[in-house]
Structure 1
Amino acid sequence: MYESALIAVDFSRSSLPMLKRLGYMERMGVKNVILVHTKPTASGSGGDGPKLSTQELKDKLAEHAEVLSDQFQVETRLLSGDPAEQLLTLAKDEDVDLIVTGSRAHHPAKRLLIGSTASALVRKADRPLLLEDVRDADEGEDNIPRRDGPTLLATDGSGAAEAAEDHALRMLGKDNHLRVITVSSSNDIARAWRRLERITNKAADVGVRLIRSVDLGRAEHVIPQIAAAERASLIITGRRGRDGVRGVRIGSTAEDICRNANRPVLLVPGTEQGN
């Protein structure tokens, strides 16, 4: 389904563990990978570590690429400038199907943030974005979700969510099952169930079995809680518009789900006409 992917690495101590966990992308159809590191400009933030030469950065990219080379065709790119803007430009130029980046900041004081680059990509990406939960080496991997757990689709039944629903059905294929939830902040349960009619009908057409539920509360809290309780390996959800136009902005539901999930989240942009 996603034949090509652009993967961003920042060479933090979380980068290699993250790459080692990306083998499951093969089941999503990924064959070709562009592994990218963006070095900051003189005016940008270079972090607290030692500054590496261009050749040293290329060598590190090659080292990181080895982690993926058994499963994917990998090429590397070293860019310079604003990471999010550079990634978005490269994704468009190469017409990749998927963008992948880590979803947590690395500074100890920012454990609850998803990071400035990931945040910008959430708001601006015009194609599916996979946010892989990253952990520093000293955090261990005990709480990292199993890769054979269920896939969870979170939908509100809107037009903006339809693309995410279609992606989830195509990703799983016939004779698989999909865990689907919609979250309501009111007691109008009948209306909430009606939000699931479209995905229910489409799933029946393609032979995917649904396990559905309507849950009360705030989506950004309920969805991560259910994903943790059911040991979901992936959350799929949609986002509206681009860069705050009829949709995602700082503090939005989609970004809050990414922040709270502690597991991979696939964000699929919807049409700007979505309701």
Structure 2
Amino acid sequence: MLLLTGSRGFIGRALTARLRQQTLAYREINSERGGVTRPDNFRPFTACGIRHVIHLAARVFVPDSWREPGAFFHTNLTGTQNVLEFCRATGTGLTFVSAYLYGPPEKLPVAEDHPLHPDNPYAQSKALAEQLCGFYAREFDVPITILRPFNVYGPGQDKRFLIPWIIHQALHEERITLRDLQPRRDFVFVDDLIDALLLTLAPAPGLTTLNIGSGTSVSVAETVTLVQSLLGTDKEVTTENVRRKNELDDVVADISRATGMIGWRPKTSLEQGLKNMIEELHTPRGARQGEPRAAGS
């Protein structure tokens, strides 16, 4: 039996759909009644035979983290502390989904031993949560795998994020307008991340940290071109030439450790992932398999 936090968020919905396909039993803690920030919400699961926790619940949108840093630290740090305490008390292993924490890379590709330079409140909250994971693994013998996904995308993602926003504009706006076309990102399809999560259900003792990415980078401009090619559109692309605070020019994940330790490799090219997103948008809701529920953390 698995315990999932954040199962109604973007990644959580993809994970629960896969678990249902594979008939794997799971229980859920979601954002209702305080979610992971309230220790009492974990008590009903202490005698359920939980063998592993996948901790997805988090505040995640970076621009929001600059406006509400306290809310991000509360959810992402306090929530992780409560998860870790549940794991310590029940002898349960943990998979913690972290984030890109490396800041401007000193070299590419970026390996897990690269110095951490969290450069926004969201990343800082995840870095602090990782420190808690390290402490519980070291001092309380909780077996923990930390996954650091790079730029996750896929069907059902909030259109505030880059790829859904590009697709939305290509379909519904007169032109495609973006802040900056130059940055390069390592995009990883959500189904490939789910593969990685499922490979961590029998964690090694101690603490293991793994990058999850494609191992390549694509510019925003190249992504727009690919989206338009798949949609058959040729809309004007304009840029505001505005760089986000602490913008990164290029990021590429070194995924050799994930391949060596858990046998994971990404299977989905950016082109195929974009096709899947576009097909999902044109599929009638009643015909979708594993129909996702309302978004949330």
TM-score computed with the length of structure 2 as normaliser: 0.29
Structure with bigger helix share is 2
Structure with bigger strand share is 1
